[in-house]
Chains A and B, each alone.
Chain A
Amino acid sequence: MVIDSRNKTLKFLLLATLVVLLIPAKAQAYIGPGAGFAFFGSMLTFFYATLSVVFYLLTWPVRYVIRAIRGRRAFVRSRVRKFVVLGLDGMDYALTKEFLEEGKLPNLARLRREGCFKQLATTIPPISPVAWSSFQTGSNPGKHNIFDFLTRDKKSYLPKLSSVDIRDTRRKISLGKYQLPLGKAGIHLLRKSKPFWTTLGEHGIFSSVIRVPITFPPEKFYGVQLSGMCVPDLRGTQGTFSFYTSRSDGSVEHTAGESFTVTRNKNTIKAELIGPPNPFRKDNSVLKCPFVVTIKDEDTVKLTISGNTYTVAKNAYTEWIKLGFKACPGVTVHGICKFLLLSTTPEFELYVTPVNIDPEKPAMPISHPGIFSTYLAKRQGPFATLGLLEDSWALNEKIISDESFIKQSTDADIERRKMFFDSLDKIKRGLCVCVFDGMDRIQHTFWRDIDKQHPANKQRRQNRPRNAIEEIYRRMDDLVGETLDRCKSNDTVLMIISDHGFNSFRCGVDLNRWLEENGYLKLKNDGRNKKNLAGVDWSKTRAFALGLAGIFLNLKGREAQGIVEPENEADSLRDEIITKLTGLTDSAKSNQPVVKQVYNALKVYRGPYKDEAPDLIIGYNKGYRASWETAIGQVTDKIYHENTKAWSGDHCIDRSLVPGVLFCNRRIETKEPRLMDIGPTILDMFGVAVPRYMDGRPLSVADAASRRTDQSE
């Protein structure tokens, strides 16, 4: 009764206010700005929304006709109303099978029972950018031009991102110390070919594509897209964390991070967050965002930044904090980050995540259309936008603990889940694709949980037994369960796929050192341990390694200082290296074979970009991978490096050892499905002809009526 009476009063008040506001002029004037605020806040919204809806509804037939003329009639030959692809980056076939047999993944077990569960063949090499590019284009890397995370600049031999090229605007007006850039920075996607959702769009089928790797910058198509892996942080890097400490020896060098020594003045610490270079200054000085930390007690500090104050508790991440880097009056670059207070006494220690591009006001294009990221931010609050958002380097560098790293991953999953389910709700007909990459990051960093012999466990003290990998498989199984609940309709196809599997990474192989020992690479006198291939004597080097999988020949006419004759020498050199590398064994480990197979790019790739690939792709054996030094072009003094980092699992090995998974809520008869077959399958299911450039072929997916109820797989 009390509640009823309160409700009535509330309703009366609301009604009275509405009446007052709907009778304009004098009444409003007497309430003054109060009424004005209410009017601006709600009445204008009301009118604008009504006008928008009327406009969209009235123009809908026109748009329908235009779409029909442009792209034939959508869905006419479609065998499906909605197609949902849930990408679980790095879900390993063998591990999944093991967990399924142990009854740990009930939702995936249901999918296996009612539809199918198969190995999904991955790409050469089995690396996310390569594999997801093949997924989206339905073609082999020779057609989409992505062969690794990194490639080399042919002129300078410097490593560069293989997927995106970001260049500052060339046209500027000089104003003394300052400059006025004319136009925007050039951001170009280096992935070639055409994603299958663009083809769907051309046929009038709407798609929602969330966080699929190698979609930055986003391309235009009929649908919405949020870019994934390879989206940079605000500084333009692939993620640079900041660590503030009062230790006098605090300013040490970190990979993918920076340490700053701060001074504690009683209980106050003043510091700055580093932002992007200031585009308005000729000296390219970086933008900074100052902040003040006031220590309240041992476990709590007060953080003041960008005009707001937050209470930060020890060992607990803050919410996403919005930052403004002022470039010049009226121009602010927006970012978001989280703070993690690690310690206040005896030394102050504060970790800050890489500054992500603010999705609400993105400094770079991270979605298509541009307002899509704003829509998501308004709908669910700020979210991580960085491509590799889990800060594995902060974990590797022992800045953050295992638990703090896992928290980053679980928080990211929660954000992604909201976006994914929103897209499932919004899209009644069409394609929904969403990739969750936490599984990849957790397996990379916690393979040591399941590989007890892993070198990273030698110095590790674990208070309680934990299996972070099993935990994330279970968590993703829950996600699958919720997804299944939203895909009950018979004309909805759900596929769960992964781009590759996983295995242990116990030992890094310095390929450049091996090339040096075998006479293919020559260092300058002081060239050892120099990064970015800076120590290599190019006049005497015939082959070099860069990135995680490839060896490049120093080919004349292709590389700036090439010495290998493409016609007479290159083929024999390739064969020679393949023969030698295939026989490589690790004498420290009972002559265990290190390399399972070496692939000649000219033979395994087809298409206009195969010449851009590394000449040789190394398929390592279980336990081995290119060393960290090889990846960045540093030549050390030994071939084998024991991997003691938290990054203990990997997939940059031979593709036969790390297949992905394919679950579907319908039966699939094809014996050996490949990742590049998924796009063509979706086109085929929607009744769209598979373009001839695609290498993938449609899988034979059974009709909805033939769902199995027995367990026969």
Chain B
Amino acid sequence: MMSFLAHIVTWLNVPLNAAGKLLTAPVAAVPGWLSNTVISAAMGVILLVLWKYTSNQDAIGRVKDDIKANMLALKLFKDSISVTLQAQGRVFKGAGGLLFHAIRPMLVVTVPICLILAQMGLWYQARPLQPGEEALVVMELNGNVDSAWPNVSIASMPAADVIIDQTRVFSKRQIYWKIKARENGLNNIVFQVDNEQVEKELAIGNGFMRVSLQRPGWHWFDILEHPSEKPFGPDSVVQSISIKYPDRLSRTSGTGWWVAYFFVASMVFALIFKPFLKVRI
């Protein structure tokens, strides 16, 4: 099942990466707050429409009317304790009903939103290395503590220097390198693993670039979260390679914050457009 999901996500990532590169290309050229706001607005409206057509709008309308009626009953008959408690009970029941009616559209909406967030994460979750900056490169290997270790090395490259060569953590089957960025550009680090060559993207530059934090292994969630690079196969010796990029510092488009900003901004835009699109939520 997990392998099937990994196949599906890998397959979906191909067109999504192509579309993502094309559609989000302007992100590189505009301030982060602006690009995140525009994307959030567009997504808020699109998801609102999706919500409209995947939810039972009539039923939501009925439940909301019932909730409103009982809220008004609280006010109208406030001197009657029995009516107050009864109305509150019905409001709670209505709130539960709304949650129930939200399940289907929420499940439907979750799939595209995860794929889109993964594409956005490439831009906002970290910033590329700047020339002169150092970063850790971590390779995770298959097998257990007793398994044999392959011969691993990094081929020399013009974009970066290896300043601390491989350090092995036997208990975790991980190998660490420290590199120092030299010239701007989207490059590949080439690793020689026994007789096999594997690659990992390395982003060096100023401003916004698509930064792939990890080339994932054969796990559907990792592939979903790191869509940019082709995942390692289930039989590969290498399970994943990640680079510890520096955090992007911004409350609207910085590491960690961008997701929260997206959530709030998309909600706000969805709520603004709700009356025009006649959507009940």
Contact = CB atoms under 8 A, between A and B. Distances in A.
A149 interface: no
Given A17-B106, A45-B98, A426-B77, A32 B92 contact: no
B102 A17 contact: yes
B68 A378 contact: yes
Interface in A197-220: 206
B103 A13 contact: yes
A42 B278 contact: no
B103 A14 contact: yes
A224 B78 CA distance: 12
A34 B267 contact: no
Given A33-B113, A33-B263, 13 more contacts: A30-B110, A32-B113, A33-B43, A33-B109, A34-B105, A36-B263, A37-B106, A37-B281, A45-B94, A52-B71, A60-B78, A60-B79, A379-B69
B267 A33 contact: yes
A372 B110 CA distance: 40
A42 B96 contact: yes
B98 A49 contact: no
B154 interface: no
Interface centre among A30, A34, A40, A426 (most CB of B within 10 A): A34
B81 interface: yes
A57 interface: yes
Nearest to B75: A371
Contact of A379 (B47, B66, B98, B103): B66
B271 interface: yes
A428 B51 contact: no
A29 B262 contact: yes
Interface centre among A38, A40, A48, A374 (most CB of B within 10 A): A38
A28 B110 CA distance: 10
Interface centre among A25, A45, A50, A374 (most CB of B within 10 A): A45
Given A17-B103, A52-B74, A375-B72, A36 B80 contact: no
A42 B98 CA distance: 6
Nearest to A43: B95
B129 interface: no
A30 B259 contact: yes
A645 B47 CA distance: 58
Given A17-B99, A40-B281, A42-B98, A49 B91 contact: yes
Contacts of B98: 38, 41-42, 45
Contact of A36 (B83, B84, B110, B270): B270
B80 A46 contact: no
B95 to A, nearest CB: 4
Nearest to A10: B100
B163 interface: no
A63 interface: yes
A307 B72 contact: no
Given A57-B81, A426-B80, A49 B74 contact: yes
Given A33-B44, A379-B65, A49 B85 contact: no
Nearest to B94: A45
Contacts of A38: 98-99, 102, 106, 281
Nearest to B258: A29
Interface in A356-379: 369, 371-372, 374-375, 378-379
B69 A375 contact: yes
Interface in A30-80: 30-38, 40-43, 45-46, 48-50, 52-53, 56-57, 60, 63-64, 67
A26 interface: yes
Contacts of A18: 99
B82 interface: yes
Nearest to B100: A14
Given A33-B266, A56-B74, A21 B66 contact: no
B113 A34 contact: yes
12 contacts: A31-B113, A43-B95, A46-B91, A46-B95, A52-B75, A53-B84, A60-B78, A63-B78, A375-B72, A375-B73, A378-B66, A379-B66
A32 B76 contact: no
B260 interface: yes
A14 B80 contact: no
Interface residues of B, number: 56
Given A53-B88, A375-B72, A32 B99 contact: no
Interface string B21-44: 000000000000000000000011
Contact of A378 (B72, B74, B80, B92): B72
B204 interface: no
Nearest to B60: A41
Contact of A374 (B72, B99, B103): B72
Contacts of A381: 65
B114 interface: yes
Interface in A379-414: 379, 381
Contact of B106 (A31, A53, A63, A67): A31
Contact of B92 (A26, A30, A46): A46
Nearest to B84: A56
Nearest to A31: B110
B82 A428 contact: yes
Contacts of A41: 60, 64, 95, 98-99, 102, 281
B243 interface: no
Nearest to A40: B281
Contacts of B82: 428
Given A53-B84, A53-B85, A63-B79, A33 B270 contact: yes
A29 B99 contact: no
A34 B74 contact: no
Contacts of B109: 31-34
Contact of B263 (A28, A43, A64): A28
B189 interface: no
Report, nearest first, the 8 A-B pairs whose CB atoms are least far apart.
A34-B109, A38-B102, A49-B91, A379-B69, A378-B69, A375-B72, A37-B281, A36-B267
A86 to B, nearest CB: 21
A26 B88 CA distance: 30
B263 A34 contact: no
Interface string A9-25: 00001100110010001
Given A38-B106, A41-B281, A49-B71, A21 B78 contact: no
Contacts of B71: 45, 48-49, 52
A52 B75 CA distance: 8
A14 B263 contact: no
A371 B72 contact: yes
A53 to B, nearest CB: 4
B80 to A, nearest CB: 6
Given A36-B266, A45-B94, A29 B106 contact: no
A322 to B, nearest CB: 12
A381 B58 CA distance: 13
Contacts of A49: 70-71, 74, 88, 91-92, 95
B179 interface: no
A40 B274 CA distance: 13
Interface centre among B67, B106, B278 (most CB of A within 10 A): B106
B61 to A, nearest CB: 10
Contacts of A31: 106, 109-110, 113
A30 B102 contact: no
A371 B76 contact: yes
Nearest to A369: B76
Interface string B100-119: 10110110011001100100
B69 A32 contact: no
Contacts of B95: 41-43, 45-46, 49
B122 interface: no
Nearest to B274: A37
B141 interface: no
A67 B78 CA distance: 13
A56 B69 contact: no
B138 interface: no
Contacts of B113: 30-34
B48 interface: yes
Interface centre among B102, B105, B262, B271 (most CB of A within 10 A): B102
Interface in A239-292: none
